[in-house]
Structure 1
C-alpha cells in the first residue's frame, strides 16, 4: 500500500504515533531536517518515542544560532546524532523520514515546519505525507534518495554526516525504491529542490490561467514576484498576506505587479500564524502547487545552492530548499478575507526571518572521537584567525569549558588528544582581525555506535519469506525482492549470550559472527543450507540434505542407513538442484545481470570498509557484509555457474568471481569457527575455478587469477575441501565452469607448499632473539629495550631479508624503551629508512650492501632529512604499502 497526502495538517509526531499503532515491524531510522532545531523539545516529545520503536535518531539543522541553551540539551550524542549544515544562505529543508524494513513514512513541511514546538504543534502548517507499507514504493522516494545522496556535495557538513545521509539513501533505495511498481492513492507528487537548479525552473512556462502566492516572508525588493509573473504569465494573480504577521514591503510588491490588470491582494485572517509556503497555479480546471520550505525570495526560489554569488544583496544568498510539486490538487489559499487591488496595499512589516541576514562568522560543523583523538571540523571561520576549540563534559554549563587546543588559520580541521565522555559538548571561538570575540554554537559528540538502531534477536531483520533457489534463478520478481532483502540483512544481529540482548555486532557491528540458529532465523533453513552446506546439516530445523547430494564427489562408502535415507529422499518431491539441468534461455541473461550486480556491491562495500579509517566509529554503509550473507551470495553464484548461466566462450563470470573473492576476504576477517571454515573452503572453490583458464604464477600468469592467488592463498591453504563439497557440482550445460573436490584438494596442497609470510616472519625474528606482534601494519617488539633504536634496526633488517620476497614492500617496526628511555619507530624499504625517536623524525638513505642493522650498530649516521620532510617520506612508504597514515599515527600515539 502506498499513499500521498498533500494537504495533510499533520506532523512527524503524528507519524510516530501512527507507526506505534499501525506498523508491525520496528522503526530502523528516524531522520529530522530543519532550519531551527529545538533540541530540548525533540528530546521531550520525539526522541524517546522513536528510540522506543528501535530507531537510530539523527537530527540535522542550520548552522545558525540555536533557540536553546547548551546546558538544556541532555541526550545529544548519547540518545541521538546531532549535526549542522552550512551554505551561502539558510539551510531550510523541512523533512522527517521514518524508515523500517517494510514500511516508510516521509513528511515534507511547507513553511515553518521546523522541529520546534510551534513548527510541529501550534502553527497552521500543512505537510506532504507519503506512506508506504508491505515493501511498497512511491515515485517520490527515489527522488528523495537521490537528494540525500547529493546533499553532502552541495552544502558543508562533516564527513561522517555525509556518510550517514548516503547510507540512508542506500537503505531507501534498497528497501523501497527498487520495489515493484505499486498503485498509489492520492495526488501525483514529485520532489523539487535547488541543489543544482533554481526551483523556479521547475515551474511551467506560461501562460497559466491563475497564480496564487503566499509565504510568511516576501522579498522586500519584489524581485521574485516579478520573476514569477514573467515565467508563468498568469491571467490572474492573488497574493495572500496576514497584515500583522507577513513580512513584506508594499513598494516592492507594487513595483513587481504594477500594470497587471488582475493582480490583487487577499488579507487572510490572523487568528493563527499561517506558515505554509505556497505557489499554486491553475490551467483550465486543474490546480497545481509547489509547497515546501521556500519563501517568496530570490534566495529561495530563483537561485541554486551551487550558483556563483552576485546580483542584488538579496540575490547573493543561496538557500538550500526542499519542496513538493503536486498535480490535481484542490486550491490551498483560502477563498476568504477581503480582496483589494495591489495599488491599495499599504504598510511594511519587519521580516520575521530576514533572508538577507548575515550567516554566523564561525561555524563548528561537528566533532567525533577518532581513536584516541577528538576530531573537530569547521565550516566557516574569519579569515586569518586562529580558532580555539573548547570542551565541556558538564553539558555546557557556565564555567565547565576547558580548552583542547587550536586550529591554525590555514586549516579547517583539528585533532586533539582527550578522553572524551559520551554527550560532551564542544565549541569554537576566535578573535578576528577587528579584535571582537566570536563564538560558534555548541556541537555534540557524534557517536554512531552508541546511537545505533536498537533491536534484539527476536526483532532482528530477516527475510520476509522462504525463497527456493530455483525460483531465484528463474523468477525475476523473486530475484529482485531477494536482492533488496539480502542487502538489508548484510549485517545479521548477534545475540549477547550474557545479557540475551541483540546488537548489530559485538563490540562493533560486523566483527562478531552470528550463531547458526541466528542464521536460520534470518535467512530461513533452505538458504542457510545453501550458505553453509555440510556445516549446516546437523542443525535442528534444517531440511536434511538428500543422501545422493551428501555423497556427491566423496569417497564415502554407502551404508544401509544411507540407502534407506536415499530411498526416503526419492519419495519426496523436491525442487531441482541448480546443477541438475541448464537454465532456460529466458532466465540466463537476467540471472547473470542479477549476480553481477550483487557481487559488485559486495566487493565495493568491502573495499570501502578496508579504506575506512580506524577509531570508535565506522559508518554502517562501509562495513563488509556479514559472513552468512557473503557465503550465501557466493554459493548462489557457484550454483549459477554450474547451471550454465554463462556461455562456454563467455568469461564474464571471472570478474564476478573475483568480486566475490574480495568480499569473502573481507568477511574472513570478521569470521571464526565454522564460519571461517566455510569461507576458506568456498574461497578455495572460487580460486580453483579461476585457475581453469589462467596460471596463478610465473611469466604466463593471468592477471585475475594471479591477483586472486595472492590475496586468497592463505585461506586456500587452510581449506578443507569437504567443507564445500556441496559446491563441487556437475555441469548443467556444456562448458559450464565447475570444480571437483580433487581440484580443490590439489590447490590446497599447492597453497600449503608455499611458506606463510607471517609464520616465516615470526620464525626469523625468533632466530634473531626477538619477539613481536603485528598490529595495524606495525611490528611491535615485545618487551622493553635499553637501546630501542638498535632493536628496531635489527628487526627491519631481518624482516626485509626474508627469502623469496615473502615480505615485499616497507617494513614498519616499533620498540619501547626501558625506564625513562626514548622509544623508537622505523619504516624501511631500501634505500629509504624513516625513523622516529621520541617526537623527532629523521630520514636516511642506506645503499646496498649496507643494512639498517650495520648502519646503526656502527655509529650515528647523518640523516638526509628531518622534521616535516621526513614525515612526507613516511607518507611515500605508506602509500607503497597500501597503509592509511591516519590509523598509523593514532596507533603510534597509543
Structure 2
C-alpha cells in the first residue's frame, strides 16, 4: 500500500491482500508505539500466524491476541512454538452456531487501524483467497463514527460467548483503547455502520426496499435459500443479480435458481480459479450504492438469527460505494444453476473440546467448551518434549466445565482430552496450548529504536566503538538490582559481587534475556548464546529457546505477504535465503592494523576480562567469545602468549551458581572451545605458566563440559580455524572436553609423551609402554611415570618393543618408586622413597635417581616383598615387558 499522505478515515471494501499489509505499514512507520493487536477469526492457524505475522506484529510494540472458533481451529503442534508464551492464542465457543467474525485491530494511545472483512487468519484467508476488507483509521483529529459501535460490540462480546482465559480481558482492553481514542476526536463518516448478530438478526439492521438493484455473492448459502429469499423480500429489488463460482460456491442450486427466476433476476458465473471467499450484499437506490461486507454468508445462521438463538457470532460493515464489488463473469441461464451439484458439508465435531488451559499457582486450570456427560482423561505434552509425547495428568469428571490439576507445565505445553468407548478404544479431543497469563501481557519490543544493534564484527571496525561498548558494560550494573545471596557467583571467582537474579521459570528467563538485550543489544546476546545471527537484529528471544524436537532458529520479523502473489513471495524468500551468507559475520583481521590499534584491543580485552566476574551469565559468555575473536583476529603478535592467561581468567569467571540449567549446552560448548585453544598452547609434560593457565581453567569449568553440544561447539568454533587450525574442529574440541571430564592421567601421559616425541601407548588401566631404542631405558620409563604421577598407582615400561634387552620397568605408588633395570642379563631391583615436592617428573628432569632416598632390601638381583605386592596390584606376574607390534 503506497504512502500517499494521510489515509482516509474509512477505506472502502477492496481486494486488500491481507491485514498483514497494514501491520507492515505500521511497523515500517518506525513508531513502535502500539499497545494491542487483536485478531478474531473463524479458523485460526497459529503456526501460520507465528511464521508470517507474529514477529512483525510484536515489532510494533503491541501485545498480541489471536482468537478462533474452538470447533474448527486445529493446529499442528510442530508448527506452533510460541502460543501461550509470547502471545495469547485463544479460542471461542458460542454453542451450536459458530464464532465467525473476521477482525483485526491495531491500537495505540494515539491511533488505531481496524480491518474488518471476510478472511480467516490462515494462509488461505490472508493470501490464497479473494477476500474483501474494509479499513477504518483513527488518528489525528478524526475517528469514524462506527468505531464507537465496534467498541460496544467488543465490550459486550464476552457476555454472549465463552472464551479461553485471557481473551475477555484482551477484548475489553481493546474496547477501552478505542473508546478513549474515539472520545477525544471528531466523529466522521457517520454513514458507515457496524452490524452484528449479538443482540438482533443482521437482516433487521438492513434497510427496507424497494431498491433499484440488489446484487449478492457469498461462498456459502443455507440449504434451501431461506436467507436469500428473506433478503430479497426485505429489499424488494427491481433487479436481482446473483454471482457464484461453479463447483466452489456451496448452495442449493434448485432453490436459488427458482428464487432468481421468480424475480426475473440474472445469474453471473464467476469462473476465476481463485477461490472467492468475500461476502457481499450490495444495493442501489436513487443513484446511491451501498455494500454490506464482513463475515456474514447468505445463510439463516448468519443473517436471520441472533446470537444465542441459533445464530452465528457475525460482524459486518455497511459502507457507501461508487462502483459495484460484484465479481465480473458471464451471465448464464438459471437452468444451469439448477443442475449445480451439492457440495459436501463438514460434520460437526461432537467429541470432547477443550477451550483453554492456563497456568495457576497450584497447577493448571483447564476449561472445556461444554461440560461432558462422561468422564475423560487429561493428557499433557511438555513444551520441550516432542509433540507426540503425552502423559496423563488428571481426570475430568462429567458435568464439569472448569477443572484444576496440580501438574506443573511450562507455557506452550500442549493439553488434550482423551475419551474411551465401551471397548476401551481412545478418542482424542482438540489440542490447546498452556497460557502463562503474565507473559502474554508483555509487550515484547517496546522502544525498539533505543535497543543497541551492534553486531560482533562492528566492535572490531573501530576501537572507539569497542571502548564505548566496554564503558556501557562497566556502567550497566547501576541499573540492575542485586540478587539474594543464593543467586550470587560462587567463591571460585574472587571479587564477584551480587548478580541480577536469573529466573528459573521459562517466562522469567525470556524476560531476563530481553533485559540483557536492552543493555547490549540482541546481536551480541545471540552471539554470546551461540545462535547464528539472522539478517534482522531484533528477533524476540522466544525464537532462541530450542526444544528437543526442533533445531530451527526462526526469524520472522520481516516476513510478509504484502500485495504479492505466491510466486513473488517465494522468489523473495529464495533471494533472502541466498543472501544469508552475505549477511553472516566474518572474523575481523587486526594483523594489518597499526600497532597502536592492536594495543588498544589488547587493553580492551584485559578490561573486559577484569569486568567479567561482575557481569550476568550472557555477558560473561560474551567476554569469553570476544576474547577468542580478538586473539584469532591477531591483536597479539605470534610470539606473545599473554592472552592465554586472559582467556583462562575469562573461563574461570564464567562459572557461578547463577548459571541457569537451560543454557548448560551453550556454556559447556563455549567452555570446551576455549579450553581446547588453551590446551593447544599448554605443554602437558613441562609445568609452564601456560600449563597452569589451562589447569586452572579446566578445574573451574570441567563440570560444565558434559553438556557440550556439537551444534553449539560448531557455532562457537566457527571462523576460528584460520587462527587455530584443526585444533578447533568440533571433533577435536569434543575430544578435549572428554579428556577433561574423564580426567585420566594415563591418557594425558600418552599425549604428553607424544609431545616429547615418544612412542607411548597404554596397557590396561594402570600401565604405559614406551617403545624405541634407548641408551638408558630406566630414565625413559621414569619420564613416562612422571607424566602420570598424579595417578595413585602407575607403571611404565621402556623397551625396544621386542623380546630382548635392554628394558626397564618403573612403578610409582606414592611415596614409593620401584625400578626394575634390565640393561644386563639379570634385572636389578631398586626401591626409592620420595619425600616433599620431589616426584618422578622432577627426577626425570634431573636425569637420574641421585636425589631420591634409596631403600635397601638385600641383593638387588631378586625382587623384594613390596615389589611383588605392587606388581600384583598392577596385575603382573613378573616385570618383563609385553611384546608389542606397535
TM normalised by structure 1 equals 0.48
